[in-house]
Structure formats: C-alpha cells, structure tokens
C-alpha cells in the first residue's frame, strides 16, 4: 500500500493538515476563476437535485460556491473520517440547502441505495482509494440513470517544480496524487465504467513568494510530516535555493482537472 492510500485516518482526522495545502493553493494560484467556482460552473446541477459529495472533507467547496448553486439541493456529505463529516455537516447546515445529511462511509462500500442521486461528486479523493474501480462502480450504482459523476484530480506534472524539492525525503519528483490517480487513469477507469468521459483542465499556475508556505504545505503529509531534522534542514535548503534561482519567487505549473461521466439511461 502506498503512503497516499494508507494513514488517511491520521491525515484527515480533522481539516488541520489539509488546510496547510489549501492555503498554499489559495494564496498563490493565479487563475481567472478560482478552482471551486470553476468546477461548480461545469456541474450540470438542477434545482432540487439530490447530490452525494463523497470524500467531502470539510465541505469548503460548498461554502465557496453555494451562492451560485441551484435552489433546493438535497446534499449528502460522506467521508470515511467522522471528524470531516461532522465539520462538513456543521458548515453546510448553515447554508440554504433543502436538506443536509452526513454519512461516515468508505467510497468502496457506500451505505446508500441504488439510483438515489442525480449527481455524485468525488473531488480530490480517489487517489487515496486502493481499489479505485470498486469505488467508481459504487458511485455509478448510487447514481440514477442519466445522472452525472464529477471527479477531480491532479495530473502527474502538477506543481513539478515544487515536488522536485521533495526528493530530499526520498520521494519521487512528482505529485503523489497525480501518480496514484492522474489524468490517464481517471479517463480510462471512468470510461470503463460509464462508456463516456469529458475532461476539462483548470487554467492556472502558481507564483509563490513565501518559502515557509512551501515548507508547511509539503510537511503536512507523508513522508515530509515524519521527516527527521537533517531531512527537514535539507528541505529548507532546497526551497531556499529554488527561491534564489527565481529571484525570490517560485513559479509552478498546475495540472488540476475535472472529469464528467454520465450514467446511461
């Protein structure tokens, strides 16, 4: 089992560690439209739809896009972390949904009826799942015919300039999310289950001006979060050199994409 599919109970007990990475993305991404609103605009949601958000995390997505969402959505927030479900439900109950339900659930064995949702959303979570085909089959099962599955993930080249610095931890010079469930895999597995898939890449790049924010984000998960002092010092040194080369700025390409599949009627 790779480090990205194990140890998630500790990683996602609450939203603290995720927040360090979200901060890096939020503060330094340059894009005409931010990630969450960009995704929301491409979701074919209609008033009154029943929506499952699996691997919902703290539901920052909904807090960010709710003002533009269709009216009367019935939202089910599911995650294998009970801490995340509690935070997500608390956040979304304060928003104008028709109903909000929380479920502690594993994506590969959803405790939900067949055909019970018009849309299933799985954002940046399938790279944590060891049996991705099983999870996609479950998402298809709970969708009603004609319903849409929306999946987001990173490409293997995402933030390459930053991941190259993590080789001091013995990590490959690539985004572990993109390695575990990158663009090619998402496309192939979704096509295998649904027979169709459309792909959209968020046009964005990063311009980071504060070295410490790179350090905090990349030491928020394995193996950086358990590195010893000599490795951490080498990591700080590698970050400092990268900022020097860029004249005080670290620029990084982003590969973050959305895949949509429609269940046959």
Ligand X SMILES: C[S@@+](CC[C@H](N)C(=O)[O-])C[C@H]1O[C@@H](n2cnc3c(N)ncnc32)[C@H](O)[C@@H]1O
Q: Which of 81, 140, 153, 166 binds ligand X (CB under 6 A)?
A: 81
| 84 contributes a contact to ligand X by CB under 6 A | yes
Per rule CB under 6 A, is residue 61 in the interface with ligand X? Answer: yes
Provide the pairing of β-strand 256-262 with 74-79.
unpaired
Stretch of 117-125, 165-173, 192-200, 202-210 contacting ligand X, by CB under 6 A: 117-125
- CB count, 10 Å around CB of 92? 25
Count of residues in the chain: 265
Question: In terms of CB distance, is 124 or 202 closer to ligand X?
Answer: 124
Q: 244 CB contacts (<8 Å, ≥6 apart)?
A: none
The contact pattern for ligand X, residues 171-200, with x = CB under 6 A and - = no contact, is ------------------------------
Residue 8 interacts with ligand X (CB under 6 A)?
yes
Shortest Å distance, C-beta 129 to ligand X: 5
Query: Using an 8 Å Cβ cutoff, are 170 and 244 in contact?
Result: no
Beta partners for 54? 78
CA dihedral 262, 128, 34, 47 (to 10 degrees): 40
- Per CB under 6 A, the list member of 60, 163, 215, 221 interacting with ligand X is 60
| Contact call for residue 40 and ligand X (CB under 6 A) | no
Q: Are strands 205-208 and 198-201 parallel, antiparallel or unpaired?
A: unpaired
Q: Please state, in angstroms and rounded to a whole number, the distance separating the CA atoms of residues 220 and 236.
A: 14
106 binds ligand X (CB under 6 A): yes
CA triple 77-1-141, angle to 5 deg: 40
Of 100 and 123, CB closest to ligand X: 123
CB of 50 to ligand X, least distance (A): 18
Shortest CB 79 distance to ligand X, Å: 5
Q: Which stretch binds ligand X (CB under 6 A): 63-71, 92-100, 122-130, 211-219?
A: 122-130
Span of 119-127, 231-239, 245-253, 257-265 interacting with ligand X by CB under 6 A: 119-127
Report the alpha-carbon distance of residue 224 to residue 244 in Å, rounded.
22
Q: Would you call 174 exposed, middle or buried from its count of C-beta atoms within 10 A (0-12, 13-18, 19+)?
A: buried
Task: Rule CB under 6 A: say whether 18 interacts with ligand X.
Answer: yes
User: What CA–CA distance (Å, rounded) separates 52 from 139?
Assistant: 9
Query: How many residues lie near ligand X (CB under 6 A)?
Result: 20
- Give residues in contact with ligand X (CB under 6 A): 8, 12, 18, 54-57, 60-61, 79-81, 84, 106-107, 123-125, 128-129
């Amino acid at each position: 089992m790779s480090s990205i599919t194990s140890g998630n109970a500790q990683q996602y007990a609450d939203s603290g560690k995720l927040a360090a990475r979200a901060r890096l993305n939020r503060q330094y991404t340059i894009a005409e439209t931010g990630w969450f609103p960009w995704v929301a605009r491409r979701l074919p949601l209609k008033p009154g739809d029943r929506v499952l958000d699996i691997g919902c995390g703290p539901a920052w997505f909904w807090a960010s896009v709710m003002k533009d969402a269709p009216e009367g959505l019935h939202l089910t927030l599911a995650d294998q972390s009970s801490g995340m479900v509690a935070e997500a439900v608390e956040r979304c109950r304060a928003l104008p949904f028709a109903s909000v339900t929380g479920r502690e659930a594993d994506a590969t064995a959803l405790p939900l009826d067949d055909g019970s949702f018009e849309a299933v959303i799985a954002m940046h979570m399938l790279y944590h799942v060891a049996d991705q085909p099983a999870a996609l089959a479950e998402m298809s099962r709970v969708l009603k015919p004609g319903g849409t599955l929306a999946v987001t993930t990173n490409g293997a080249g995402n933030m390459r300039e930053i991941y190259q610095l993590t080789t001091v931890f013995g990590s490959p010079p690539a985004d572990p999310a993109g390695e575990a469930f990158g663009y090619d895999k998402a496309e192939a597995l979704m096509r295998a289950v649904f027979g169709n898939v459309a792909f959209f890449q968020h046009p964005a790049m990063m311009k980071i001006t504060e070295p410490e924010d790179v350090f905090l984000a990349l030491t928020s998960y394995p193996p950086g979060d358990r590195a010893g002092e000599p490795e951490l010092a080498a990591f700080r040194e590698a970050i400092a050199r990268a900022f020097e080369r860029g004249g005080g700025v670290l620029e990084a390409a982003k590969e973050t994409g959305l895949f949509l599949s429609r269940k046959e009627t």
